[in-house]
């Protein structure tokens, strides 16, 4: 895998849990704790170590949570994004579309 250093990246994590339960309570339906955001830093650090590029280069983070009891696991995708999408003021950001 050949990645450039000193360029911005998007890190996408798609996690397939073995189960995601819906729990009923007095406050309504609620998912049983399967908190994806708690593992983000660990995955960012692991990817950074594996590819040799610090996670400070991750300017966009995309997270998805799914359920696949027969195939739990994770997809990790690290792609370079355009430098004109980073370091924007809010006004500049509002003038761009989110997708690149």
For the chain, 100 residues long, the average pLDDT of each consecutive 10-residue run is 85 89 67 73 93 93 92 94 84 69
Say what the pLDDT of residue 97 is: 58
Cβ atoms < 10 Å from Cβ of 79: 12
Any domain includes 99: no
Any domain includes 28: yes
Say what the pLDDT of residue 75 is: 96
> Number of folded domains in the chain?
1
Any domain includes 2: no
Any domain includes 53: yes
Any domain includes 54: yes
pTM of the model: 0.76
Q: Please state the separation of Cα 85 from the chain's center in Å.
A: 17
Any domain includes 3: no
DSSP state of 16: E
Any domain includes 65: yes
Determine the Cα–Cα distance for residues 74 and 13; give it in Å rounded to an integer: 7
Report residue 91 as tokens: 């006004």
Cβ atoms < 10 Å from Cβ of 87: 10
Any domain includes 100: no
Say what the pLDDT of residue 3 is: 85
Determine the Cα–Cα distance for residues 81 and 95; give it in Å rounded to an integer: 17
- What does DSSP say about strands 28-31 and 22-25: parallel, antiparallel, or unpaired? antiparallel
19: domain range? 9-94
């Amino acid at each position: 895998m050949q990645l450039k250093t000193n360029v911005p990246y998007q890190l996408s994590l798609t996690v397939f849990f073995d189960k995601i339960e819906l729990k009923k309570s007095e406050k309504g339906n609620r998912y049983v704790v399967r908190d994806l955001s708690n593992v983000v830093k660990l995955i960012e650090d692991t990817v950074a170590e594996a590819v040799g590029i610090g996670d400070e280069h991750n300017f966009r983070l995309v997270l998805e949570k799914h359920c696949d009891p027969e195939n739990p696991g994770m997809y990790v995708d690290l792609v370079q994004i355009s430098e004109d999408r980073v370091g924007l003021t809010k006004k500049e950001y509002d003038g761009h579309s989110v997708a690149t």
